């Protein structure tokens, strides 16, 4: 079997992720931040270490500014709904995932004005097109760091500098890049970073977070949830300090134990070296496909501008037919269709059928890429 659906969730995970979760269940298990007993402190230590380790990965000075969530979707909702008010204007790109588009369409109904800047058919964004949309009421720009459909990277650093110049906030959806591509909150001038734990950070599902940069006033940001935090229980009002303000309710501590192990794994390998490996493989895959006349490839062909996720289509076959054929005959697991990103597919001209998507990970081997190229060639041969 060849698992090529890492953009949805990475698999396999490093063995230490499972080990950390088992250790948490067997030896710790308590509720973090709710008591002073030994096991509660140990559980809180896991969360603390996870924040510190993520701070190293993203270059964050103050780890209290990392808020844990269930996934990138929750993080994006928290940032958008927490900060935008009726009358505010926000700019996004046409290549976004529904986890950005849907909350924005909802906010639009509530009086937030939205501008969607078109990307090229390869999924490239020209930051000058963002600049043209800035107006007096613009408050924020939200972009994915790389598209889950095209794999094309967006110029977040460039947009970040522009956002600072105009006193706007930049929210980056790093669901596809955190762990697979270098991210530096300071260098890229990112104000809000939404990440998910279960993709290139190699943690379990149900983990993620939002990094709230120093330019964001957390006291003015409305939580999605209010409730118990283990702190300030004498008051019925929500705490105004981080991270507690946005972390009501018992956290997914066992999941975060796994996430901590995943992030440590990424740091040990090194993001640059993970990136080199994945770039090498995706280049091989693109080379293997590009001379086949029946195949259309999407996204940029520039390796430096893309991640290891490739969308393609085969002439006269629907994406779901291709996916079921490669699974049945060659054991390749991938994802066909719209990938929760209808706007991205409109941008590249593949709506409503979508594309077939092969997405790799640090565990993908040269042999798997080679076999998958052979499999697709074989399939075309049979169809002829």
For 262, 269, 278, 328, the CA distances from 14, given in Å and listed in that order, are 7, 11, 16, 27
Q: Does 383 bind other proteins (CB under 8 A)?
A: no
Residues that bind ligand PLP (CB under 6 A): 71-73, 97, 99, 144, 148, 173, 175-176, 196, 208
| Residue selected from 36, 349, 352, 367 as contacting other proteins according to rule CB under 8 A | 36
3-state secondary structure of 266: helix
Q: From the list other proteins, ligand PLP, none, which binds 175 (C-beta under 5 to 8 Å, kind-based)?
A: ligand PLP
Q: Is the CB of 75 or the CB of 229 nearer to ligand PLP?
A: 75
Q: Is the CB of 62 or the CB of 374 nearer to other proteins?
A: 62
Segment contacting other proteins (CB under 8 A): 198-206, 228-236, 272-280, 338-346?
Answer: 228-236
Q: From the list other proteins, ligand PLP, none, which binds 173 (C-beta under 5 to 8 Å, kind-based)?
A: ligand PLP
Q: How many CA atoms lie within 13 A of 227 on its CB side?
A: 7
Residue 40 Cβ vs ligand PLP, minimum distance, rounded to whole Å: 28
**Binding to other proteins in span 295-324, by CB under 8 A:** none
Residue 125 Cβ vs ligand PLP, minimum distance, rounded to whole Å: 14
Q: Is the CB of 33 or the CB of 160 nearer to ligand PLP?
A: 160
| Residue selected from 1, 27, 167, 234 as contacting other proteins according to rule CB under 8 A | 234
Cα(203)–Cα(207) distance, rounded to whole angstroms? 7
Closest listed residue to residue 149, CA positions, set 376, 283, 292, 307: 307
Radius of gyration, CA atoms only, the chain: 21
Q: Is the CB of 99 or the CB of 313 nearer to ligand PLP?
A: 99
Closest listed residue to residue 185, CA positions, set 64, 276, 57: 57
Task: Tell me which DSSP letter residue 314 carries.
Answer: E
How many helices (H) and strands (E) the chain has is answered by: 11, 13
Beta bridge partners of 178: 181
**Binding to other proteins in span 46-85, by CB under 8 A:** 47-48, 51-52, 62-64
Give the start-end residues of each E strand in 70-191: 89-93, 113-117, 138-144, 169-173
Query: Which residues lie near other proteins (CB under 8 A)?
Result: 32-37, 40-41, 44-45, 47-48, 51-52, 62-64, 229-234, 239, 241, 243-244
């Amino acid at each position: 079997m060849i698992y090529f659906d890492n953009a949805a969730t990475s698999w396999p995970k490093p063995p230490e992720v499972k080990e950390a979760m088992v250790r948490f269940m067997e030896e710790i298990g308590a509720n973090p931040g709710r008591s002073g007993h030994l096991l509660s402190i140990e559980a809180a230590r896991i969360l603390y270490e996870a924040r510190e380790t993520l701070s190293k990965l993203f270059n964050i000075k103050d780890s209290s500014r990392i808020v844990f969530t269930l996934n990138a979707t929750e993080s994006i909702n928290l940032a958008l709904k927490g900060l935008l008010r009726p009358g505010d204007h926000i700019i996004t790109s046409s290549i976004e995932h529904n986890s950005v588009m849907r909350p924005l369409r909802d906010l639009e109904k509530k009086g937030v004005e939205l501008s969607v800047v078109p990307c090229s058919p390869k999924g490239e964004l020209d930051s000058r097109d963002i600049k043209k949309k800035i107006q007096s009421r613009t408050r924020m720009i939200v972009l994915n760091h790389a598209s889950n459909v095209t794999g094309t990277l967006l110029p977040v650093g460039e947009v970040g500098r522009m956002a600072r110049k105009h006193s706007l906030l930049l929210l980056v959806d790093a669901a596809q890049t955190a762990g697979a591509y270098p991210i530096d909150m300071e260098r890229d001038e990112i104000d809000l970073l939404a990440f998910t734990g279960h993709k290139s950070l190699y943690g379990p599902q149900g983990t993620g977070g939002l990094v709230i940069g120093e330019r964001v006033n957390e006291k003015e940001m409305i939580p999605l949830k209010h409730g118990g935090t283990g702190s300030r229980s004498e008051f019925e009002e929500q705490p105004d300090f981080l991270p507690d303000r946005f972390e009501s309710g018992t956290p997914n501590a066992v999941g975060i134990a796994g996430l901590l192990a995943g992030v440590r794994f990424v740091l040990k390998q090194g993001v640059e070296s993970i990136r080199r490996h994945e770039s090498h493989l995706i280049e091989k895959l693109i080379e293997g496909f590009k001379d086949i006349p029946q195949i259309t490839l999407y996204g940029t062909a520039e390796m430096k501008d893309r991640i290891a996720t490739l969308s393609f289509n085969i002439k006269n076959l629907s994406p779901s037919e291709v996916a079921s054929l490669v699974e049945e005959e060659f054991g390749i697991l991938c994802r066909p269709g719209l990938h929760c990103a209808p706007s991205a597919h409109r941008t590249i001209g593949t709506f409503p059928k979508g594309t077939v998507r092969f997405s790799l990970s640090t565990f993908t081997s040269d042999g798997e890429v080679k076999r998958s190229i052979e499999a697709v060639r074989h399939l075309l041969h049979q169809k002829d």
